[in-house]
Structure 1
Amino acid sequence: MRLPARHLLPVTAVTAASALLTGCFAGAESSTDTEADGKRIRVAMMLPPRSGLSPLSDDAFKLSRWSTAETLVKLGADGDAQPSLATEWQQSGRTWTFEIRDGVTFHDGTKLDAEAVVRSLTKAATASPKPRILDGVDLTAKAEDADTVTVTTATEDPLVPQRLSSPQLSVLAAKAYRGKTVNPVGAGTGPFELTKVGGTASATLDRYDAYWGGKAKAPGIDVTFVPDGTARAAALRSGEADIVEAIPVSQAAVLDQKLITEVPMPRTNTLYLNNGKGAFEDASLRAAAREAIDAEAIVKGVYEGRADVAEGLLGPALPWAAELRGPVTRAAKAGEPNGEAITIGTYSDRAEMPEVAATLQQQLQKAGFKVKLDVREYTNIEADALAGKFDAFILSRATVLDSGDPAAYLYSDFASNGTFNLSQFADKKVDGALRKASDTEVGDARRKAVIAAEAAVLAQDAAVPMLHERVIQGDAEGVVKAAHDPRERELVTIDTYVR
């Protein structure tokens, strides 16, 4: 099933969008494009800043993607902690000791030291609201000497290094913290210095030649925020942008396929089944719903094949999950719906969700359920979903939160006292598996415990994972080594340039 013609971009819209982007990027090359060794990189990003690029908000991920702000730790492909502004660390009970990298300067020329790290971490730990990564975490930082910082938590936490990799815990110069807001302009440590912010329209970054990791290959970055997906696709087609974020599925088919890359995201489109009351309190009907769902048809029809059919809750963005996963032994066999009436809720903020709901409605009705849909904006439906007012709820869910570890997601969604338990699910055996996954030391043992917890959840049909989403990134023909990062922490790196 192909998407209807309304999804295709009319020629007039291409022209209008191209004109819009031409205006947005006008003058980009004139910023400081006097370098002889490369072109400035023009980037079209989807979401404009929401909090003035404060690292204490989701804007932190923009600073990370532009390689301007850095953290003590970064994450490897498997989510393991690797050195960044800290070179090494060790744990002693509730306290972790970090050695700070020597020879690092902020973009204003001041030196990175332990006091600077403590200042940034303390600002984040005492912020209201706290960065997501510190929800429920009581963290204090102390400078032991000029190059050593200790981080202590209220309870022993094996994930402290991974937490410190969150872009929301970036380390900035003292100048960033003057006044009531955090201002990252000229205050980072990365290979590119943020020099100018044009409100919610644009940002300018120039190469920082004193970067501790060497000289960036590109002389700078010119960012334009373009919320309209049609306009972003047009920017790639017309050559007005070099790197384009989040191209809509509906536009990807009409672009030169050599210019787009589909990046697996740690995001799963999942049908949460209400285990607490109603039809799906019956395990056999949960099993019947699972067996009735044709996820491949949803991937082909709604996502035009640009998604991956789910084998579990964790997808290809975590390659180790498939390697460790085995067959799931289900707790119940499928029963007969016999016209059982159910209401499925979802939200309209993501364009594909209502289409997914409509397809599911057809599939479940064919299996014998009587299905009603309730589709609203997310802010108007979340409270009802959390209160268990639907028999089922469709959600595009991030399965790896800011720590790069999926245990927190599994616990919040499927523990008896989970804070995001849409399934109203409570099972002592599953609770035990989730606690083990949360408490196990980081590494192979923790990954195995996570997959065991996933299997325990799936055995009870608490939720039905349907597909794993991809984000579509556009890179113009001359772009070299743009990052394609499932966690959306990297985009333009020290090695990225335009021929």
Structure 2
Amino acid sequence: MTKSILRACAVAALSVASHAALAQADTAAVDKNAELVVGWGEPVDTLNPATTGARDVGPLDVNMFDTLVWLTPDLKITPHLAKSWTLSDDGKTYTFELRDDVTFHDGTPFDAAAVVANIDYITDKDTQSNIGLNLLGPCKSAKATGQYTVEITCAQPYAPLLAQMGEPYLGIQSPAAIKKWGKDLGLHPTGTGPFEFVSYTPNQSVVVKRNEKYQWGPAAVGHAGPPDIAKITFQIVPNAQARVAQFQSGQSQIMQETPGIFWKALSPQTSRYTSLSVPITGMGIFAPINASKWPTDDVAVRRAIMYAVDREGVIKLAEAGVYPVNNTPLVKEVFGHDPSLEDMYPFDPDKAAETLKAAGWTKPGEFWEKDGKQLTLKLTAISTVSHYPLIAQAIQGYLRKAGMNAEVEQLATPAWLAANIHGDMSLTPLQYIAVDPDALHLWFLPDQYFNWSHYTNPELTDLINKGQQETDPDKRVKIYSDAQRIIMEQAVMMPIRENIDLVMMSNKLTGVTYSGGGFEYFGAASLAK
């Protein structure tokens, strides 16, 4: 983008309202002393946005930390801590003009030096930043050119940076807190957001309170001043049935990760509950297919797997059919999504058989064989996240019907990660969140941590690298369309379904919205008396 386009974008965005926010409650009926309890589905690894690797920490952090830009639910880039921004002619330097009226929860002033301290902290090897470091890409140098002007410089043009600065994993932390708490920073999260940290009890709860000084919320949300809600307790309840029971009994007023069967049962009860589908953008729920290990090192086997699995059937079996199917590497909400790829692998068991036969596989008995070896597949799944084993088991059923001896192995997270990294699996269901198509580089470039398909292709690598540097939107669309076509033709990932957080709320709760990417935000929420 040119400088003028970026400036126009920033100014025009001030008038954009978050279309996902539910109607605000009548101000006369709002309980300004309300204490909200949220049934939360996943444990916390750390509340430090720079070092967390968890999707479910993102919504916690987006309520405690502000970002330089705010992403609307439809991924429009709007001002937040940065009032405006420009991009240099060579595409390597982003200049942000910052607000001058912001303070951190510990009283530290927010300014350009604070932004520099955050970039330095994220890029410091000792920090061991997770998602945050990846979101910065090659843009790892920051310099204050004025008290409220900061430059972020990239080693090469990096088009995704601006949108990715709106993810909570790049939430701005107090430089004083960074210095004071060091490796314990995740236990003392200190941002500028609408809510301040109160306490964290591992595997039990995260408690936050209203930031009474908050006057700098994103204009796109449509709520001025501090939150209406005084206190939020995120009650960590990984057991889905316990989370539902807590909600139905009134112990919580909102529940995230509502299981599909309960979503279908509770949604019609409009006199008591309100439902909100929060689309988590990126690559959806999908399964990398290991291209480096027998038998999935044979592209014919990978393609046969794609034809053999009925994705709609998987969703019905595993999750009551409440989610839409996804058939492409990027979900439809993400820039660069290519709908022309949706019909590449229809459910077609006969086509799966033809594909294997053409590649020299035979089926003398129940399962396919080649060179005296049976076609056996290992499906791994995280044992602590209930829907992944269910998805793996549903996929297993279709593969066995198609003559592939699929086995499911449930693993605790560390063992699951190790299996994926070392290629000790055939495929595994998972998710990845992103607000830009550059997410593909983490999964398909050589030597990337998440290259769990263990697949490299010089043409694909070149396309993804070009996509990072290209600033022309039309050219980027073409680049990512070509990249996704290679991924699908080589069948190194199986798209399964859209990634959606099914949120169920009491009718007394209104104004709940989410930032782009799918992170629930309570700064504009109200609870009726």
Distance 1:440 1:138 in 2: 15
1:346 pairs, out of 380, 389, 398, with 380
CA contact 1:346–1:393 (8 Å) conserved in 2:
yes
Amino acid at match of 1:236: F
2:311 pairs, out of 287, 295, 302, with 295
- 1:108, CA displacement in angstroms? 4.5
Distance 2:511 2:320 in 1: 27
Q: Which is further off, 424-433 or 84-93?
A: 424-433
1:186-227 CA-to-partner distances (Å, cap 9, x unmatched) read 943233333x21533341312424513432451412213222
CA contact 1:407–1:437 (8 Å) conserved in 2:
yes
Distance 1:384 1:262 in 2: 32
CA contact 2:31–2:527 (8 Å) conserved in 1:
no
Distance 1:186 1:226 in 2: 18
2:277 matched to 1:262? Answer: yes
Superposition pairs for residues 284-433 of structure 1, below 5 Å? Answer: 284-318=300-334, 321=337, 328=344, 334-336=355-357, 337=361, 338=363, 339-340=368-369, 341-347=375-381, 348-390=383-425, 392-398=426-432, 400-401=433-434, 404-408=435-439, 410-433=440-463
**1:50 matched to which residue of 2?**
45
Aligned residues: 457
2:100 pairs, out of 92, 99, 102, with 102
**1:151 matched to which residue of 2?**
152
**1:28 matched to which residue of 2?**
none
TM-score by length of 2: 0.76
Give the 3-state SS of the residue equivalent to 2:216 in structure 1: coil
CA contact 2:193–2:211 (8 Å) conserved in 1:
no
Amino acid at match of 1:233: V
Distance 1:468 1:475 in 2: 21
1:190 pairs, out of 175, 180, 193, with 193
CA gap 1:65/1:173 in 2 versus in 1, 3 angstroms: closer
1:461 pairs, out of 482, 491, 501, with 491
Give the 3-state SS of the residue equivalent to 2:302 in structure 1: helix
CA gap 1:221/1:276 in 2 versus in 1, 3 angstroms: same
Superposition pairs for residues 171-186 of structure 1, below 5 Å? Answer: 171-177=172-178, 178-180=180-182, 181-182=184-185
1:140-191 CA-to-partner distances (Å, cap 9, x unmatched) read 2221111111112333322332343232332234442323233786943233
TM-score by length of 1: 0.80
CA contact 2:98–2:148 (8 Å) conserved in 1:
yes
CA gap 1:193/1:325 in 2 versus in 1, 3 angstroms: same
Amino acid at match of 1:356: I
CA contact 1:263–1:486 (8 Å) conserved in 2:
no
Distance 1:63 1:241 in 2: 16
Give the 3-state SS of the residue equivalent to 1:225 in structure 2: strand
Give the 3-state SS of the residue equivalent to 2:296 in structure 1: helix
**1:170 matched to which residue of 2?**
171
CA contact 2:48–2:189 (8 Å) conserved in 1:
no
Distance 2:503 2:100 in 1: 35
1:282-303 CA-to-partner distances (Å, cap 9, x unmatched) read 3333322221111111111111
Distance 1:327 1:309 in 2: 12
Distance 2:516 2:115 in 1: 27
1:199 pairs, out of 198, 201, 208, with 201
Distance 2:81 2:332 in 1: 29
2:512 matched to 1:482? Answer: yes
Aligned-pair identity (%): 23
- 1:476, CA displacement in angstroms? 0.6
2:69 matched to 1:73? Answer: yes
CA gap 1:438/1:78 in 2 versus in 1, 3 angstroms: farther
CA gap 1:39/1:420 in 2 versus in 1, 3 angstroms: closer
CA gap 1:357/1:160 in 2 versus in 1, 3 angstroms: closer
Distance 1:57 1:426 in 2: 28
Amino acid at match of 2:194: P
Gaps in structure 2 of 5+ consecutive residues: 1-29, 218-223, 347-351, 370-374
Q: Which is further off, 287-296 or 219-228?
A: 219-228
Distance 2:259 2:516 in 1: 16
2:133 matched to 1:134? Answer: yes
Distance 2:49 2:304 in 1: 45
Distance 2:406 2:194 in 1: 54
Amino acid at match of 1:71: T
Distance 2:341 2:97 in 1: 37
- 1:485, CA displacement in angstroms? 5.3
CA contact 1:185–1:193 (8 Å) conserved in 2:
no
Aligned-pair Cα RMSD in Å: 3.2
2:85 matched to 1:89? Answer: yes
2:290 pairs, out of 262, 271, 274, with 274
Gaps in structure 1 of 5+ consecutive residues: 1-34
Runs of 4+ in 1 over 4 A off after TM superposition: 35-38, 183-187, 322-330
Distance 1:159 1:318 in 2: 12
- 1:72, CA displacement in angstroms? 1.0
CA contact 1:108–1:186 (8 Å) conserved in 2:
no
Give the 3-state SS of the residue equivalent to 1:494 in structure 2: coil
1:92-142 CA-to-partner distances (Å, cap 9, x unmatched) read 343221111232233455532222222233222225212422146461222
CA gap 1:415/1:146 in 2 versus in 1, 3 angstroms: closer
Amino acid at match of 1:100: L
